[in-house]
Structure 1
Amino acid sequence: MRNGHLVSRASDWIMYSVEAAAIAKVVAEYGPSTKQNAIVGGQTSCKDPEIKAFEQYLPSDVDIVSCHSLHGPNVDTRGQPLVLIKHRASDASFQKVETVLSCLGSKHVYLSAAHHDRITADTQAVTHAAFLSMGKAWHASEEFPWEGARYVGGIENVKINLMLRIYSQKWHVYAGLAILNPEARKQIAQYARSSTELYKLMLEGRADELRRRVYAAKERVFGGAAEGQPPKWADKPLLRDEVLDRFSLGRRPDAPLPNNHLALLAMVDCWSALGTVPYDHMICSTPLFRLWLGVTESLFRSPGRLDEALRIGLEDNTFRSDDLEFVFAARGWAECVSLGHFETWKERFVVTQKFFEPRFPEAIKVGNDMVKAVLDSTRD
């Protein structure tokens, strides 16, 4: 057909697959042409602006059934969560959409638009902020992390591969979710605050306060004796180290250099401050989030590994400059989100994307294999 108006006029079901920042403009142009009694939905990662656009520009006789696949474009859709939002629709219309989308083999999850945005903020926005900050920090230090001895091994493999996976995507994929979702703004700001405050405790050598804060966050997020319940990983840890060790872009050294894992410590501190229990959202979690939660859990379920990370943070200055760049990066992303600057986000993202671009083909292949292996190992 020649244009979107003719598509809207002829179609019984219309799906708007455009970036969240452009959804209002596109619906304003083509929405009024929608066929009478048609069904309309969208695939944006942030539903607040999408639903507002549908309510404002679609005819009142049109049903609204939205959706969102909670995974990236290179992940097998089978068994992955697919959110369905029956915002304004008859049971028959909703059933029709479910029938069409059943070909994906995804696991259907039923939410309201508001609940969807809260969960995606919990499981995606702040996770993306962590990886975006890592990439920005490595770029600022002009280093490819897989070429050194510090960033090799199970946890490091996840950090590097998922960072590259995110930066290999279009910039707007993550910008809309972060900037247009009010819940996400709050969480990204807290992650920057947690990163800054933990880093200051390390710099000032306040060992007792650092340990109390990290262990209190561990109890609130993962459970344990102090909370009167077994830890969340008591039945089955999300990840096994031997699975992650298989996927590295660099050669594993005989003696990897120590790491304080500031990004992981800050993540748990952030969840604790916000009262977020990430396990509550596992049914709506993306593969990336499950990997991130899995490596975080891996650090915190080992007292020896966690205590060693705290000791390194306080006593070892070898990579202090890397941590400083990470804190700068986290604060920079948080400020960009708080100001709502899409162009600033784009500029920050693209310049770092170009730095890592030569390694994307290899990283994407390794990352896809890693995601598949981890999903297979954690599948019920």
Structure 2
Amino acid sequence: MASADSAAASSAQSRPAGMESFVVGLIGMGDMGKMYAQRLSAAGWNILACDRDDKYEALRDEFAGKKNIQICRNGHFVSRASDYIIYSVEAATIDRVIAQYAPSTKLGAIVGGQTSCKDPEIQAFERHLPADVDIVSCHSLHGPGVDPLNQPLVIIPHRASAESIAKVETVLSVLRSKHVHLSAKEHDRITADTQAVTHAAFLSMGKAWHANTQFPWALSRYVGGVENVKINIMLRIYSQKWHVYAGLAILNPEARKQISQYARSVTDLYKLMLEGDAAALRARVFAAKERVFGSDGAPLWGGQPLLDPGHVFRSPGVLEDALRVAIDDLRYRSDDLEFTFAARGWAESVSLGNFETWKNRFETTQAFFEPRFKEAGVVGNAMMKAVFESSK
């Protein structure tokens, strides 16, 4: 404890002029809010935090031993006394929560949010925050159980002075993440491009295995190489809170379009497999290959050895084998059917904008795989570490 106190004191002394008594406020103490509270307070920052009123007593007990984390009754107490306020709440409720606590924002404070979809967040800030408040949002592109070291951290200086941006950079530097500056629009477009359909694919895998009551690691056809990667990423996604992925998919217009197209493409490919139309299947898959990797077969990712063994598009022979199996090998056909149903189900949930449907679909499959989450977390962290190290 003495060592931690010494480190905190040293951190406070090394802060830029004018930030010696800087207070960070956290409205929302879910898994991500707690991760920020723990890591920022460990670096010496003073934290004011809150969640819903019914969680006040439990949070106060949980953080009773943390001398520079003060749990408040509600967001009014956090907003009135904090210099940088981070709203870390579900994207679906961000407007309501900001509307409730924005009037109490400290004069001259900086405010940001941690939601995965920035358009509704920024609109809410513009509607409800006083004009004298700077807006600098952020988004850690990883889950709360992942070490933030070298992970991407998006910083969005929407309405802010250079001084305010520098203060936010200073606070968040303790996470040791890689800072990337984007606009809210750029953030939402990039996350739709890189995350939304990726999540839909792994959510569909999990839902398909659940529908078949299969634990894929127990089946010989899902053992080894890229199959292990697929299983572990699926488990990592389902081990998180449902709203993390729902907000990104449902509230991001670009994500909605892409998930809808993904479901149509999955359906079209499955129909070609059922029809045994090898020529049409090959033409469609090779067109996608050329669009992503180029006609010479050289991947845009470069020669990363870790990815070589599992990249089906890297070798024309492997790709041809995959297409042949898709048509001729019926062992996977029931899995492919359930995967198609799952992809269409997620797309329908997104198109309807129905958070409750999404939540139910997610949590029923989450419960099915829950016994393996702890083990998957350990394996997944090691896997991600290996990927990052191989890309240096």
TM-score range, shorter chain: 0.7 to 0.9
Tell me by how many angstroms 1:142 deviates: 0.8
Question: Relative to structure 1, is the Cα distance of residues 309 and 96 closer, same or farther in structure 2, using a 3 angstrom cutoff?
Answer: same
- The range that moved more, 55-64 or 75-84, is 75-84
Q: Does 1:58 align with 2:129?
A: yes
Q: Distance in 2 between matches of 1:341 and 1:91?
A: 39
User: Equivalent of 2:300, from 232, 256, 273?
Assistant: 232
Q: Which residue of 2 aligns with 1:331?
A: 344
Q: Which residue of 2 aligns with 1:7?
A: 78
Amino acid in the other structure paired with 2:212: S
2:149–2:177 Cα contact (<8 Å) kept: yes
| Structure 1 runs (4+) greater than 2 angstroms displaced | 233-238
Amino acid in the other structure paired with 2:154: V
Q: Distance in 2 between matches of 1:142 and 1:7?
A: 46
List gaps (5 residues or longer) in structure 1: 242-294
List gaps (5 residues or longer) in structure 2: 1-71
Structure 2 matches for 1:241-256, cutoff 5 A?
A: 241=309
Q: Which residue of 2 aligns with 1:354?
A: 367
1:224–1:231 Cα contact (<8 Å) kept: no
2:143–2:240 Cα contact (<8 Å) kept: no
Structure 2 matches for 1:96-175, cutoff 5 A?
A: 96-175=167-246
- State the secondary structure of the residue aligned to 1:60: coil
Tell me by how many angstroms 1:204 deviates: 0.6
Q: Which residue of 1 aligns with 2:386?
A: 373
Structure 2 matches for 1:200-239, cutoff 5 A?
A: 200-225=271-296, 230-236=298-304, 239=307
Q: Distance in 2 between matches of 1:233 and 1:170?
A: 30
State percent identity of aligned pairs. Answer: 73
Structure 2 matches for 1:6-85, cutoff 5 A?
A: 6-85=77-156
Amino acid in the other structure paired with 1:120: T
Rg comparison, structure with higher value? 2
- State the secondary structure of the residue aligned to 2:156: strand
- The range that moved more, 23-32 or 369-378, is 369-378
Q: Does 1:300 align with 2:371?
A: no
- State the secondary structure of the residue aligned to 1:64: strand
Alignment coverage as a number of residue pairs = 321
Amino acid in the other structure paired with 1:216: A
Tell me by how many angstroms 1:76 deviates: 2.1
